[in-house]
Structure 1
Amino acid sequence: MGIKLRRSVAASAAAVLGLSLMAACGGDGTTDEGPESETSTAGGTLKVLQHFPYEASDPQRIYYGVQLAWYRRLIYRGLLAFPMSEDPEEATTPVPDLATDTGTSSEEGRVWSFTLKDGVKWEDGTDITCEDVQYGTSRVFANDLITGGPNYTLSYIDVEDYPGPYKATPAQQQAFEEAVSCDGKTITFRFNKPWADFPQAIAGMMMTDPYKESFDEGAKSQWKVLSNGPYKVEGGVWEKNKGATLVRNPEYDPATDDPETLRLALPDQIDYQIDPSETSGELFNDRLITDAPDVQNAITTARVVPSQFAQLEGPVLDRYLNVESPYTQYLTPNFNRLKDVKVRQALAVALDLDGYVKALGGDKAAAPAESIVNPSVSGYQPNPAFDGDNSGDPEAAKALLEEAGVEMPYPIKLAYPASPTADKAMAVIKEGWDAAGFDVTLEGQGDTYYDVISRPDDDFDVSWAGWGADWPSMMTVLPPLFDSRPNFSPTTCGQDYGCYESDEFESLVDQAANSATVEEQTSFLQEADVVLGEEVAYIPLDTSKFNWLWGSKITGFTTTAASSSYPEIGLIGVTE
């Protein structure tokens, strides 16, 4: 299956943990291809082999990381976008796309304005207007019909009781159009609080992408595509379990774009083939390993699995790449059960992280994490509570338990989504913790994992979890996971799986949310992460790695932070 950004692991806990843990070791394959590749020429047909279906092709409903990245290069342009740079900082710095610049901010980040370029068109030849951006933004509010996509704008746009464009009264619609207003080609967003990283949000998500009102059929628009990018969907409809054929969009004008930065659009045609059968991903890579004739012009969303690693030798290593992903795994102590900080500290100190990573498949499978914030996120720094020896120290942990005055062995129930690889990795954690004076019971769970561990009354002492930022900002990591206010209800702790609650942490979150600049916001969130570490609200585990193969006729193959470490499709070409 695919991985979403904010909901990257919550989407299907067992499956995603399996994917993360199975992105294991392989050869030291590298590629010299990239943005400067002289072999990347226009023409030919690119084949995309995908082993899972998307949930929609409607821009306001898209939330899969790879889909956001690839659709942005191929069929949908937004006000801003992230560039195709292999430099991580550059790749996470928004640049203009449909807009003339990266926006003008006023009122300490509560107001943002963007002006559309001249000459940008839909595939039907009509101009993209400010009103199209306004209408696309309004659709997110109709979350009874336009489901599945990110909805950050609902809590920021300065309008109340707006149900979206389909059910709004004239007064409600007018209120929205005052909050998101048009003046010629200029659109202005008015927020109820500062949104310092709004440019990053709209470069990474499609919440404010334009949508043509006359094209809209509400829920029935789920698979319709009206392109404004270099390709259009042949027939205009994406087939969920089959894919689509993408052909050149004659209304796309490269003069309104920055092709070298945002989308080279080299292939003449892209055959996007989806096969959701259980073994399709492995079969795709089996054929890529042998460079079978029908996949020499192919890339895939399917990562190499452990059973195929032995075949990664010789010439195939020239078509293999191992990269760190934007997804970080961690453990979350249950604060309703583990109330003594010294007990939580003992768990962190005794963790044999080196052994855990080795059980996942070694350094080609994962990298030890020193924060819940992924290194690809702006403002990342190692959390000082976890920036040390990764081998574990059972004796030091035992001393902490003695200081806590608890009876040993101290019982611990550890929950995680069960899989053969996960079982081995969790056994390593159990061994280190048992040696420190704990008595660990491994509680492997099934497909309903996240709804179980989010319950306030669950009987797990520690739970595994994972996360990927919606855009490269710490605001999309720490508050969603540890701010109790939006997470807590009588029946759930939401994404705050350990039911953590801290006035000090939440005060720093509030200061970050009300910051007028990204730099100020980041500084407060770095402080907030230190607080989380001191209280052991989480214990970082690993940053998962991706393993990619491609066919011998593919050129320009690389990954970027902008592509969520998936193949950067905007740079890829095909030789005949």
Structure 2
Amino acid sequence: MASNRKKAFAAVAALASASVVLAGCGGGSGSSGSNGNSNTTAKATKGGTLTYYIRDALEHTDPQRVYLGRELTNLDRTVYRRLVSFPASTDTTKATTPVADLATDTGHSSQGGKVWKFTVKSGVKWQDGKPITCEDFKYGASRVFATDVITGGPNYLLSYLDIPLGSDGLPTYKGPYTTKNNDVASFNKAITCQGQTITYHFKQPWPDFPLAVASLGMMDPYRKDKDQGDKSNFQIFSNGPYMVQGKLDHNRGYTLVRNPNYDPKTDNPEIREANPDKIVYDIGKTGEQIADQLIADNGAAQTAVTDRSIPPAYYTQITGSVADRAVNVQSPFTDYLVLNFARVKNLAVRQALAAATNDQGWIDAGGGSKSYDPADSIVSPTVKGYQSNPAFKRPSSGDVDAAKQILQKAGVKTPINLSFTYPSTPTADKQAAVLKDTWKQAGFNVTLDGVANSSTYYTNIQQPDQKADIIWAGWGADWPSAITVTAPLFDSRPNLRKNTNGQDYGRYQSDAFNKFITQAQTASSLDAQTKALQQADIQLGKDVAYIPLEIQKFYLLRGSKVTGYMTDAASSMYPDLGPIGVQ
């Protein structure tokens, strides 16, 4: 995943307590300036054009497929509404407490959280003026089950919704695009509509279901007559305050204008103020080009925001009035390495590689403390279930001698030829070179395989036949439980199929690990779940299924005429388009 994205995964149940807020997705708040998360100018007013500079092409705009933090927050504030959403706030507790959006309230549960009901508001419409119905929500959920068509998005529903599993380990319902051997009856029992009230029936308690709904688009409504399956990947049919003007180009950009059939009386201004008249997404500039324009602060850049962190080479330019337009916040994303178990089968080789990994060198080459915080687990320290993984207690600059001893003791001949795949940028290339140097000292001959097209990076590493030995990836919890981290990334049961690795990029398979995940999924208490998840992470460390690198920090700059600026404390720490406006 590119260094500032949230990516997702496979069907795994989660039983996190609804009382726990999304701390893992939070970040800085408080005063303005380089360490703050608020704006230095007055509250935003209506009107004007906001420009959003984006480097990487869009991966998806289909709500059931979107799984990058940038798109999740941008689309939720502009074109897609949900049953419940998170309000915009610099207070993390408030920002991570769902409020009613398309539903009349935040939902009602019964049977210990196994059944959830929501009633859709009256008077809410699609961009063509037709009403949003309960059946639209049911159809949207049905698309998640078409795992051969609607790929790449969150699919917790595959495990949770009360539908039997077939011999392939997937639900017997296969989505809306096929009639062959399709268990439609079970789906129709699992999700029911009575008037405008939709009811979800789950196999097991899902007490924090509203958090999942507010975080992800898998439950979003979708109009059946607008569905073109995979061809819908870059289409937007709006039910929010904006709609696409003309054609959407996922490589170059698109423009949003006001949706005439959006009624703000049905919405909550804490979620969406919809201040700009127009939002222009400018896609394709490099991080350096974006920084140059925002620092110069001329023309459209004066009313622009970006998802790109300031490149480290520009840090010395962030002073005075420019620094007043910058924020430096910890993101919810942890970067890590995975080893391809189909190719790096020797445990001693994986252990030696981990021992020789120069985390500090990687951090320093990437910009130091303004770019990263250290990590000793794939689980963020702010997520319920975090603990320092004992397998990665090593010098931050790597331990070459320990790595050599591991290989010598195991009788492994050196040099060991391996390849390292990662999304290539000038900064990432420097970071990769640092890792290669220390690995070489330990006896590894590593070929660097930087991928220039980062928009297809995850699609490529999900291929079962990919040739990488070491794979870079990044992850952020979908809500505050380790079950939305270790389980979706390493449970082979829902991930590994003939045509995809899912999010188990290294094709890791462990009965011991899966047993701990099953214990967590069926735990009767949050404490029992947390204990099982901690044991699962220890097992991952023993097997060296991953090597933690760091926790990303975002160093974001904005134009001088942007008002109401804050970052999205609920999910991604990207600019929150809910309250933002322009002078």
Q: Once the 2 structures are TM-superposed, how far is the Cα of residue 285 of structure 1 from its aligned partner?
A: 2.9
Partner of 1:568: 576
Distance in 1 separating the partners of 2:62 and 2:221 = 11
Q: Once the 2 structures are TM-superposed, how far is the Cα of residue 323 of structure 1 from its aligned partner?
A: 2.6
Q: Give the direction of change, closer, same or farther, for the CA distance of 1:117–1:38 in structure 2 (3 Å limit).
A: farther
Distance in 1 separating the partners of 2:145 and 2:421 = 35
Kept in 2, the 8 Å contact 1:223–1:237? The answer is no
Partner of 1:361: 367
Q: Give the direction of change, closer, same or farther, for the CA distance of 1:505–1:105 in structure 2 (3 Å limit).
A: farther
2:120 to 102, 116, 122: 116
Report matched runs for 1:378-393 at 5 Å: 378-386=384-392, 389-393=395-399
Q: Say if 2:132 is the partner of 1:150.
A: no
Amino acid at match of 2:556: W
Range that drifts further, 310-319 or 96-105: 96-105
Q: Once the 2 structures are TM-superposed, how far is the Cα of residue 471 of structure 1 from its aligned partner?
A: 4.7
Range that drifts further, 144-153 or 446-455: 446-455
Q: Say if 2:290 is the partner of 1:290.
A: no
Distance in 2 separating the partners of 1:56 and 1:450 = 12
Distance in 2 separating the partners of 1:238 and 1:457 = 32
- Corresponding residue SS for 1:244: strand
Kept in 1, the 8 Å contact 2:336–2:547? The answer is yes
Q: How many residues align?
A: 546
- Corresponding residue SS for 1:570: coil
5+ long unaligned stretches in structure 2 = 10-31, 164-170
Distance in 2 separating the partners of 1:144 and 1:492 = 10
Q: Once the 2 structures are TM-superposed, how far is the Cα of residue 370 of structure 1 from its aligned partner?
A: 1.2
Partner of 2:87: 83
Q: Give the direction of change, closer, same or farther, for the CA distance of 1:481–1:2 in structure 2 (3 Å limit).
A: closer
- String of CA shifts for 1:183-209, please: whole Å, max 9, x gaps: 233211123444454333222221111
Report matched runs for 1:408-557 at 5 Å: 411=416, 413=418, 415-417=420-422, 420-433=426-439, 438-447=442-451, 462-488=470-496, 495-515=503-523, 520-557=528-565
- Corresponding residue SS for 1:540: strand
Q: Say if 2:367 is the partner of 1:372.
A: no
Report matched runs for 1:138-217 at 5 Å: 138-142=142-146, 146=150, 149-159=153-163, 161-165=172-176, 167-168=178-179, 173-213=184-224, 216=227
Q: Give the direction of change, closer, same or farther, for the CA distance of 1:462–1:38 in structure 2 (3 Å limit).
A: closer
Q: Once the 2 structures are TM-superposed, how far is the Cα of residue 551 of structure 1 from its aligned partner?
A: 0.8
Amino acid at match of 1:439: G
- String of CA shifts for 1:457-483, please: whole Å, max 9, x gaps: 988764443334455543332123222
Q: Give the direction of change, closer, same or farther, for the CA distance of 1:442–1:421 in structure 2 (3 Å limit).
A: farther
Q: Once the 2 structures are TM-superposed, how far is the Cα of residue 333 of structure 1 from its aligned partner?
A: 4.0
Q: Give the direction of change, closer, same or farther, for the CA distance of 1:486–1:154 in structure 2 (3 Å limit).
A: closer
Kept in 1, the 8 Å contact 2:331–2:554? The answer is yes
- String of CA shifts for 1:13-69, please: whole Å, max 9, x gaps: xxxxxxxxxxxxxxx96165628x771132121422334443554423433321211
Kept in 1, the 8 Å contact 2:65–2:150? The answer is yes
Partner of 2:50: 47
Distance in 2 separating the partners of 1:103 and 1:55 = 31
Distance in 2 separating the partners of 1:439 and 1:290 = 47
Q: Once the 2 structures are TM-superposed, how far is the Cα of residue 386 of structure 1 from its aligned partner?
A: 2.9
Partner of 1:20: none
Distance in 1 separating the partners of 2:526 and 2:339 = 30
Partner of 2:166: none
Q: Say if 2:318 is the partner of 1:331.
A: no
Distance in 1 separating the partners of 2:87 and 2:325 = 24
- String of CA shifts for 1:442-497, please: whole Å, max 9, x gaps: 21115497788778898876444333445554333212322233444678766434
Range that drifts further, 408-417 or 242-251: 408-417
Q: Give the direction of change, closer, same or farther, for the CA distance of 1:131–1:430 in structure 2 (3 Å limit).
A: closer
Q: Give the direction of change, closer, same or farther, for the CA distance of 1:257–1:338 in structure 2 (3 Å limit).
A: same
Q: Say if 2:257 is the partner of 1:246.
A: yes
Q: Once the 2 structures are TM-superposed, how far is the Cα of residue 441 of structure 1 from its aligned partner?
A: 0.8
- Corresponding residue SS for 1:201: helix
Kept in 1, the 8 Å contact 2:51–2:300? The answer is no
- String of CA shifts for 1:115-135, please: whole Å, max 9, x gaps: 334544444555433222112
Kept in 2, the 8 Å contact 1:97–1:258? The answer is yes
Partner of 1:17: none
Amino acid at match of 1:209: D
Range that drifts further, 391-400 or 241-250: 391-400
Q: Give the direction of change, closer, same or farther, for the CA distance of 1:185–1:457 in structure 2 (3 Å limit).
A: closer
TM-score (norm 1): 0.81
Q: Once the 2 structures are TM-superposed, how far is the Cα of residue 296 of structure 1 from its aligned partner?
A: 1.2
- String of CA shifts for 1:489-523, please: whole Å, max 9, x gaps: 67876643444333221111112223466665444
- Corresponding residue SS for 1:546: strand
Partner of 1:5: 6
Amino acid at match of 1:332: V
Distance in 2 separating the partners of 1:253 and 1:570 = 13
Partner of 1:258: 268
Kept in 1, the 8 Å contact 2:432–2:448? The answer is no
Partner of 1:74: 78
Q: Give the direction of change, closer, same or farther, for the CA distance of 1:225–1:171 in structure 2 (3 Å limit).
A: same
Kept in 1, the 8 Å contact 2:334–2:380? The answer is yes
Partner of 1:315: 321
Q: Give the direction of change, closer, same or farther, for the CA distance of 1:553–1:164 in structure 2 (3 Å limit).
A: same
Distance in 1 separating the partners of 2:545 and 2:181 = 47
Distance in 2 separating the partners of 1:95 and 1:130 = 19
- Corresponding residue SS for 2:64: helix
Distance in 2 separating the partners of 1:251 and 1:461 = 50
Q: Once the 2 structures are TM-superposed, how far is the Cα of residue 338 of structure 1 from its aligned partner?
A: 6.2
Amino acid at match of 2:221: P
Distance in 2 separating the partners of 1:72 and 1:451 = 23
- String of CA shifts for 1:285-328, please: whole Å, max 9, x gaps: 32211110332122123433345444333321111223333332
- Corresponding residue SS for 2:570: helix
Identity of aligned residues (%): 45
RMSD: 3.8
Range that drifts further, 241-250 or 565-574: 241-250
Kept in 2, the 8 Å contact 1:196–1:515? The answer is no
Q: Give the direction of change, closer, same or farther, for the CA distance of 1:559–1:433 in structure 2 (3 Å limit).
A: same
Distance in 2 separating the partners of 1:214 and 1:539 = 45
Q: Once the 2 structures are TM-superposed, how far is the Cα of residue 353 of structure 1 from its aligned partner?
A: 2.0
Distance in 2 separating the partners of 1:174 and 1:549 = 52
Q: Give the direction of change, closer, same or farther, for the CA distance of 1:67–1:249 in structure 2 (3 Å limit).
A: farther
- Corresponding residue SS for 1:564: coil
- Corresponding residue SS for 1:189: strand
Q: Give the direction of change, closer, same or farther, for the CA distance of 1:219–1:465 in structure 2 (3 Å limit).
A: closer
Distance in 1 separating the partners of 2:275 and 2:497 = 50
Amino acid at match of 1:45: G
- String of CA shifts for 1:253-280, please: whole Å, max 9, x gaps: 34x44323x223333x12323343xx45
5+ long unaligned stretches in structure 1 = 9-27
Amino acid at match of 2:366: L
Distance in 1 separating the partners of 2:110 and 2:206 = 11
Q: Say if 2:267 is the partner of 1:233.
A: no
Distance in 2 separating the partners of 1:315 and 1:290 = 11
Kept in 2, the 8 Å contact 1:34–1:571? The answer is no
- Corresponding residue SS for 2:443: strand
